[in-house]
Amino acid sequence: MMLHRSLVFLLLSCFSLSSWALPLCSDSRAPLEVNSTVSFCPYKDKTCCDTKEDSNLNKQFQAMNISDKACASVVKSILCSKCDPFSSDLFSDNSDQQSVPILCNSSTKDFCTETWETCQNVSISDSLFAASLQGRAGAPANNKTSKLADLWQSKTDFCSAFGGEASSNETLCFNGEPVTLNNNNNNTTSPLDKAPSGLCLEKIGNGSYLNMVPHPDGSNRAFFSTQPGVVFLAGLPDQDSAGVLDVDLSSPFVDLTDEIHFDIEFGMMGMAFHPKFASNGRFFASFNCDKSKWPGCTGRCACNSDVNCDPSKLTPDSGSQPCQFQTVIAEYTTNGTSSDPSKAKNAKPTEVRRIFTMGLPFTSHHAGQILFGPDGYLYFMMGDGGGGADPYNFSQNKKSLLGKIMRLDVDNIPSASEISKMGLWGNYSIPKDNPFREDKELEPEIWAVGLRNPWRCSFDSSRPSYFMCADVGQDAYEEVDLITKGGNYGWRVYEGPELFHPESSPGGNTSAKSINTIFPVMGYNHSEVDSSGKSASVTGGYFYRSETDPCIAGMYLYADLYGNGVWAGIEMPANSGNFVTNRTTFSCAGDSPMKCSDSPGSSGLSLGYVFSFGEDNKKDIYLLTSNGVYRVVRSSRCNLTCSKENSTAARRNPSPSSSPASSSTSCYRRMMNGSFVVLLVSLSLILLALLV
């Protein structure tokens, strides 16, 4: 059954999607830089059409044989809206039947009426507007020549089918011109016009942790893991309570050290708890192992004939042999330790299932973070494998999983024969909308390519289409990327925004012209943090969504691993995907419950190494450092000025809300899976049932 377009847009309006708008094509890919050969649909900066698509649209337009120039101009603009950088929002249905974007139909801009009045009596062959009537009464035979007035009884009927009003001040409908956003709205996602006065931190725990994951049951608890492989469950103190982490170091949640190989760049690199952990008790660990010391450490080598790499010809790294060390994702459970996973205080260190195993060619750049996206799939960040400047060009090799972000379905486990047939690296299946279905050269696990060593990624809890990853640089530049489906982030053709020239290339090179590089949205040069230009390494963070410090609301926080700086990224203009970054100071609250580590000069606070960031269920942000666990607190505790700060108890201790998360997830599924209408209808029916 086809949904009425007015119902579709009503649902869009109810969920106020405009605050999540982002330049994104209808297939969830990032727009391309405009190519000079794209001439029919002449977008200025970015477009969702390459030369081939532009040419096909031109042929389609010529075949319509529209004699009236005014109508031809209108139809051409509608046809070219498929190339608009915001086509994901314009074509909200994303179905094969939909050939027309949502046409603006409001008092401020009524392009739908303009279309009707201009074209109602003009003959159009293979009309875009007739395509939506296929199989219905009134449709022209074989979808040949037709007039709007032949298909629709009135302008009201026509605009009921194709029209729609923007859901807020931002444009989510097509007005005949490229989409532009009105950024004068006063919501919390709007960029601030100046850098924050500084970050105020309190120290709430000792210990050196690499990962923090909030408890999936929504409580004020979180899991912390160490690089050697020990996981602790800790209670988090309320803001302004003078409390510290409530953790029993003598009783870990789980100890995986028997399986894990721990060294400078090895260990337990990530952990993820299933979105339904509170009911199924499933959780996952990403770690490294040494096959010379543990029989369970077995897997295919990432250097193999599929990627034109011969392991016997690799130069040993740090005394190791190729693929002596493996990267592993394993599944564990609380079942057997507690009947209620939310009450489980520990789990058995016995693998339920080996999800993924791959041998590493070198001893560095294997990243290893895992996290569940708002779509319920497991994202796995993998570095280029090391070796210095990615000598085998793994990051650009579409048949290699090195230097990639992968997206796996761990809820639907295929049979052993299916795994073997598909050539998978473990027990998982492939999400149907992974980009390999559009790019046949890609391995099916791949979501994005061209990363060097992605170190800490996160989804924005308010706008799940914003998937941010920090990527460690080589010689000069540290970057933060906005990850989209099928995106190519340039390494090792580029390091940050500049071309990179490797000293040796036994694995061959990739030309800059052969790829559509997506450049970083934030970052910094090594010279900004250290005069030698050699000690920088970026650590990715989160968009700040807590109410604790309203003066940094909506900013993306990230840091240098070596504790040399913290940056705040401000999107300007809002929802554009363009960011302005400012390096900000950080200091310790005078009433910090634990004494902060002193550093002579500067801010008087030494963070040591900033290994990672964390976010709890109240959206407060944490810094996991070699000197302990720090949390961002209200500015006034460091005598910093924030005119927006409200010191009431309700402001300092906001209750977590599930509403933004649920609607954000729906938005994300629409962007990633092309099934947004179905999801919104389902949600609407649920809401209607609750109201009745």
Cα gap 586→607, rounded to integer Å: 10
SS3 283: strand
Residue 569 has pLDDT above 80, yes or no: yes
The beta-strand segments (E) located in 484-578 are 494-495, 498-499, 522-525, 538-543, 556-560, 566-571
The predicted pLDDT at position 599 comes to 59
How much is the pLDDT for 141?
A: 47
Q: What pLDDT shows up at residue 533?
A: 59
Question: For the chain, what is the mean pLDDT?
Answer: 85
Looking at the predicted structure, is the pLDDT value of residue 304 above 70? Answer: yes
Which DSSP string do the residues of 208-229 spell out, in sequence order?
--SEEEE-TT-SSEEEEE-TTS
Among 133-137, 459-463, 591-595, which is the least confidently predicted range? Answer: 133-137
Q: 61, 58, 23: which is closest to 37 by C-alpha?
A: 58
Give the pairing of strands 454-459 and 467-471.
Answer: antiparallel
What confidence category does residue 166 fall into, taking pLDDT thresholds of 50, 70 and 90? low
The CA distance from 467 to 163, in Å, is 31
| Angstrom distance (rounded) from CA 182 to CA 188 | 15
Sign of CA dihedral 325, 330, 334, 340: positive
| 493 within 8 A of 396, measured Cβ to Cβ | yes
Name which of 375, 380, 431 is nearest 401 in CA terms: 380
- Range with the poorest average pLDDT among 300-304, 312-316, 576-580: 312-316
Q: For the residues 240-247, what does the mean pLDDT come to?
A: 97
Task: Kindly tell me if the per-residue pLDDT of 672 is higher than 60.
Answer: no
CA dist 124 to 67, 130, 146, Å? 9, 9, 5
| Residue 251, both tokens | 């009783």
More confident residue, 190 or 480: 480
CB contact at 8 A, 366 and 372 = no
Burial class (CB in 10 A: 0-12, 13-18, 19+), 685: exposed
**Residue 123, pLDDT score:** 95
Q: Are 163 and 104 in contact (CB under 8 A)?
A: yes
**Sign of the torsion formed by the C-alpha atoms of 662, 664, 666 and 668:** negative
Strand runs labelled E in 585-688: 586-588, 610-615, 621-625, 628-633
Is there a contact between 289 and 257 (Cβ–Cβ < 8 Å)?
A: no
Write out the two tokens for 413: 């486990």
Q: How far apart are CA 202 and CA 238, in angstroms?
A: 12
Q: d(Cα 139, Cα 137) in Å, to the nearest integer?
A: 6
Q: CB under 8 Å to 660, separation ≥6 — which residues?
A: 461, 462
**Cα separation, 616 vs 596, whole angstroms:** 21
- Side-chain half-sphere CA neighbours of 312 within 13 A: 1
Judged against a pLDDT cut of 90, whether residue 432 lies above it is answered with yes
**Predicted pLDDT of residue 199:** 94
Given pLDDT bands bounded at 50, 70 and 90, which one contains residue 678? very low
- The residue ranges of every structural domain in the chain are 5-182, 185-252+546-656, 259-452+473-536
What does the pLDDT read at residue 189?
42
The enclosing H or E element of 273 equals: strand 268-273
Distance CA 454, CA 477 (A): 13
Identity at 191, one-letter amino acid code: P
Q: Which of 217, 323, 251, 333 is nearest to 285 (CA)?
A: 333
Q: Count how many residues are written for the chain.
A: 692
Non-local (6+) Cβ contacts of 685 within 8 A are none
List the CATH code of the domain at 259-452+473-536: 2.120.10.30
pLDDT over 90, % of the chain? 66
What's the rounded mean pLDDT across residues 645-668?
44
Give the distance, in angstroms, between the CA of residue 71 and the centroid of all CA atoms in the same chain: 40
List the beta bridge partners of residue 458. 468
Tokens standing for residue 386: 């090391």
Tokens of 589: 């609250």
Q: What's the mean pLDDT in 572-585?
A: 88
**Does 169 score more than 60 pLDDT?**
no
Q: How confident is the model at residue 13 (pLDDT cuts 50, 70, 90)?
A: very low
Per-residue pLDDT band for 661 (boundaries 50, 70, 90) equals very low
Distance CA 228, CA 436 (A): 35
Cα–chain center distance at 91: 21
500: pLDDT strictly greater than 80: yes
Tens-place pLDDT, residues 186-233: 444 444 445 678 999 999 999 999 999 999 999 999 999 999 999 999
Find residue 662's DSSP bridge partners.
none
User: Which range is least confidently modeled, 265-279, 485-499, 527-541, 674-688?
Assistant: 674-688
Helix, coil or strand: residue 159: helix
Span 359-375, pLDDT tens digits: 999 999 999 999 999 99
